[in-house]
Structure 1
Amino acid sequence: QLIEIWKEVLFNEHIGIKHNFFDVGGHSLRATTLVSKIHKQMNVNVTVRDVFQYQTVEQMAEFITSIKGETYLSIPAAPRRTYYPVSSTQKRMYILSQVEGGELSYNMPSAMIVEGELDAARVEEAFRNLIQRHESLRTSFEMIQGEPVQHIHSEVAFSIEKIQAEKEEIDTHIDRFVRPFNLQEAPLLRVGLIEIRKDYHVLLFDIHHIISDGVSTNLIIKEFIQLYEGELQPPLQIQYKDYAVWQHSEMQSERMRRQEAYWLNMFDGEIPALELPIDYERPSVRNYEGDIVEFTIDKQISDGLKEIEKQTGATLYMVLLAAYTTLLAKYSGQEDIIVGTPIAGRAHADLEPIIGMFVNTLAIRNYPEGDKTFYTYVQEVKETMLNAYENQEYPFEELVQKVNIKRDMSRNPLFDTMFVLQN
């Protein structure tokens, strides 16, 4: 049974009992998926730290036989009502979406080139079926008695935007396609189809982050293709609203109290603000201006990173985070650095097939002091991340409310930079 779970998580049918999880495509995100599936299918609560310690099926099976079982509890369906609470992440996102200058900050646009003939009517029908299947795609948001809530509509009007254009006009049409959403009007999803030729299209897709995340985007694409090809989908056991209600009730549990204690201890006392050297005065309020710098890491550096991974037992993410925080320390002259990092937030196996906003933000505090060797520091970062993974379900929004930080409209609370390794 265990080896079948490994095959499913690693998308690899050739897993043997002596294969190392991290050598055959495993990483921290898949480790979280692995432990949630083991809990659901085997009623044993293994942690991400255990995956790092018992890295083969053989070692893990031996470990599992030595520990006490723990019954898997499914997320219950919420009682029917007109309005449902938003999740903690949605609440913060709703508020920030209303800030002037942040209207497009939470759009998640993407574009795909489709070669070969495409039936626009079937594309539209597939998306309509997808919207009907997932309540999050039929959800709008309102403010009631000072609190944001979500309202699920039984039906919503939806049609794709059809555009005929020349190839050189594609960028112009993409720019026009991405525009602000009104959170009070569902669906918070747009689909466009640019026809260049009968056998060459660009499929445009934009969705508000309040109802979606990176994992959800992959789910939408996968299920759209299946629905377009006429495949039937298995019924969903729960919807996003059920998760939101469950999350609220879980905040009172002993498990969440333990996680809260971990984070409050991490940020006890004075909390540093990152002071990078800047060439102009920081604006009094964040204005959301920015730019993108793209570069490629050459093979020699890439091979060096893999070698550090091997020698330290850390993941590529951990090695890169150690390098990034070391760089920030050199620029700022500070040796107490906090960096934000997103985590998928799907630690419960029931959430795997659900489209919605599950991402939590972890505030990671490290100490890149000058007298440490880089290898020693990587080990410290690894330990910090393993602790963070064990406490990943505590909402960042709750932490912000409970720690002692000076409010500054020109800064993000707790950290000013984020580090993301996109799988």
Structure 2
Amino acid sequence: MTIREIRVDGTTRVADGPSTLLQEMLFTSMSANPGENRAFNVENVHTIRGPLDVAALARAVDLVVERHESLRSVFVPGPGGVRLRTLPAPTGALIQYGRTGAGSPSPAEVDTAVRADAEHLFDLAHERPSRFTLHRIDEDEHVLVVVVHHLVLDGWSMGVLLDDLATAYEAVRVGRSPFHGRLPCRLTDFARHQRALIASADVVPLLDFWARQLAGLQDGSTVPYDRPARPYQTFAGDRLDFELPAALAGGVRDVARTERVTVTAVALLAYQILLREYTGQEDVVVGVPTANRSRPGTQDCVGLLMNTHCVRMGLPDRAPLRDLLHSSARTLTAALRHQEVPLVTVYEDLIARYGADNLPPYLFRTLFICHTHRVGPLTLEGTVCERRPFSQHASKADITLNVWPDDSGIRCQIEYNTDLYDAATIHQVADRYQALMSRIVNDLVW
């Protein structure tokens, strides 16, 4: 993959390049479904307290959007497929709001303004897919809302973006260049590599692996619905946050260390067993997004590089938990070793091998995401930044279980489709997940 070296001088020209296969598929779908479009907004909201240098922050935002071409790229459909068009670097990308009269806005007014920002519907064919908004609460308090469309940003990328924003803010305040004239790899370079891979013989063993893994798959595993599903996918949703007790989180880490597996493998096994219990099926499949950043230079790229693949596992009811844990860890490791091929290519290959009539309507219905690449809070020198909780009331799958393990504990979040599930059901799912984590720890450590 080619990594360009370009000075950040504001002269970047408009350019076209290929999109990734996942971007092409999602853009085509979203063009016909505005509700799906909104469900893919990725927000990061911070309350900033202290003497914020607003002018420096505004300049820092411009530098970051200039640095990462994906933040200023639009999607252009054409006969050869969907392409990315990089717009010129902006000036004044930070939108600023502040009350002109006396007094500060009420908490309800702030919440309404933040929601309006986070739910902004991007015109992906004409509008920069990133939005930075600063709300002035009073002299020493602001709320910063960063919203980027998922088509150009994944979970890893948000950490890169926030780090670069902090770096640029600090550099601007002392009058130096923040990035020393170097840019990370472009998303279009990554897309070129991906499309070259799909056209080469190197893709054959990757597709063979996934064909073996998914042969005979009946349907994606999911928690039974509280009400009948509609004939089309909907995206209304909500989130439930919870945290494992400290002793249990420590026990999970002990299991991982003793059994020489990752915390991700332990957390995934508990979710797989949960689905086995709810479905009564020993053949369980879960969608697991992978970072897909093994190539040099991709670690500092802001873009949608991730792949989501189907992790399928047999869970015999009488099998010992230790055996299941190691089987789950091996299955996950194998998926990571074959993550480079896009899921859309895998699905097309499955159709060619087995026929569309022999495939389920969904390869997976639920997602499991273990966030091992930590996205820390925004840091702006001289201020105190605090992540502000927010729910978009949108869900991309039946259920998505997010897990954030770190040295302080294990946080969890269930994002769920409110057209399918009641809040009470999701609370039961969260309680059962915690109970299954306890069962694994009790069986293997305590």
> Which TM class, normalised by the smaller chain length?
0.7 to 0.9
Q: Which whole-Å CA distance do the structure 1 matches of 2:335 and 2:2 have between them? A: 23
CA distance in 2 between counterparts of 1:103 and 1:393 reads 25
Q: Unaligned regions of 5+ residues in structure 1, if any?
A: 1-73
Quick check: 1:156–1:186 contact (8 Å CA) kept in 2?
A: no
Deviations 1:90-136 (A, max 9, x none): 11221232224212111111111212222322222211122222221
Question: 1:416: how far off?
Answer: 0.5
Candidates 17, 20, 26, aligned match of 1:87 = 20
User: Partner residue of 2:156?
Assistant: 215
Cα pair 1:137 1:186 within 8 Å, conserved: no
Q: What is residue 105 of structure 2 aligned with on the other side?
A: 166
Q: Which residue is equivalent to 1:75?
A: 2
User: In structure 1, what is the Cα distance between the partners aligned to 2:268 and 2:243?
Assistant: 17
* AA in 1 matched with 2:79: Q
| C-alpha displacement of 1:248 | 0.9
Following the alignment from structure 1 to structure 2, what is the Cα–Cα distance between the partners of residues 130 and 275? 39
Shift in CA distance, 114/342, structure 1 to aligned 2, threshold 3 Å: same
Q: Could you tell me which residue of structure 1 aligns to residue 206 of structure 2?
A: 259
1:233 partnered with 2:174: no
- Of stretches 334-343 and 109-118 in structure 1, the one that deviates more from structure 2 is 109-118
Contact 2:59 2:92 in 1 (8 A): no
Corresponding residue for residue 57 of structure 1: none
Query: CA deviation digits over 1:47-71, x for unaligned, max 9?
Result: xxxxxxxxxxxxxxxxxxxxxxxxx
Once the two structures are superposed, the pairs formed by residues 12-411 of structure 1 within 5 Å of their partners are 74-75=1-2, 83-98=16-31, 99-145=33-79, 147-156=81-90, 158-164=92-98, 165-168=104-107, 169-178=109-118, 179-230=120-171, 231-234=177-180, 235-236=182-183, 238-274=185-221, 276-404=223-351
1:114 is paired with a residue whose SS is strand
- Tell me how many residue pairs correspond in the alignment: 347
Deviation per CA, 1:233-265: give whole Å up to 9, x if none.
031263221111121112234433221211111
Whether the aligned pair in 1 keeps the contact of 2:15 and 2:85 (CA below 8 Å) is yes
Q: Residues 238, 301 of structure 1: CA spacing in aligned structure 2 closer, same or farther, 3 A cutoff?
A: closer
SS at match of 1:121: helix
> Secondary structure of 1:415's partner?
coil
Does the residue aligned with 2:369 lie in a helix, a strand or coil? coil
Structure number with greater CO (CA < 8 Å, separation at least 6) is: 2
**Contact kept in structure 2, 1:89 and 1:359, CA below 8 Å:** no
Describe the shift of the 1:384–1:155 C-alpha distance in structure 2 as closer, same or farther (beyond 3 A): same
Separation (CA, whole Å) in 2 of partners of 1:254 and 1:81:
34
* Aligned equivalent of 1:39: none
345 and 172 in structure 1: CA distance in 2 versus 1, 3 angstrom threshold: same
1:157 Cα deviation from its structure 2 partner: 5.9
**Deviations for 1:292-351, whole angstroms, at most 9, x for unmatched residues?**
222221133223322321332111110111111111111111111110011111110221
State the 1:192 CA deviation: 0.9
Provide the C-alpha distance between the structure 2 equivalents of 1:386 and 1:103, rounded to a whole number of angstroms: 32
2:131 partner letter: R
Alpha-carbon separation, structure 2, partners of 1:223 and 1:76:
18
Compute the displacement of 1:273 (Å).
3.7
Query: Residues 308 and 187 (structure 1 numbering): CA distance in 2 closer, same or farther, change over 3 Å?
Result: same
Rounded to whole Å, the distance in 2 between the matches of 1:421 and 1:126 is 30
Give the whole-Å Cα distance in 2 for the aligned partners of 1:416 and 1:254.
Answer: 31
TM-score (norm 1): 0.76
* Amino acid paired to 2:142: H
Query: What is the correspondence of 1:3-18 to structure 2 with a 5 Å cutoff?
Result: none
Q: Compute the RMSD of aligned alpha carbons.
A: 2.5
Q: Secondary structure at the residue paired with 2:310?
A: strand
| Aligned mates of 2:167, 2:184 — CA distance in 1 | 19
- Distance in 1, matches of 2:300 and 2:257, equals 33
Q: Which moved more, 1:268-277 or 1:279-288?
A: 268-277
CA–CA separation in structure 2 for the residues paired with 1:412 and 1:111: 36
Letter in 2 for 1:97: M
Paired residues of 2:224 and 2:279 also in contact (CA < 8 A): yes
1:303 counterpart letter in structure 2: G
Q: For 1:76 and 1:422, how far apart are their aligned partners in 2? A: 26
- Structure richer in strand, relative to its length: 2
**Alignment CA distance shift 1:185-1:120 (3 Å):** farther
How far did 1:274 drift?
A: 2.8
The TM-score, its normalising length taken from structure 2, stands at 0.72
Answer whether contact 2:44 2:147 (CA < 8 A) is retained. Answer: yes
Q: Are the counterparts in 1 of residues 157 and 303 from structure 2 also a CA contact under 8 Å? A: yes
Separation of aligned partners in 1, 2:164 and 2:214: 41
| CA 1:173–1:312: 2 relative to 1, 3 Å | same
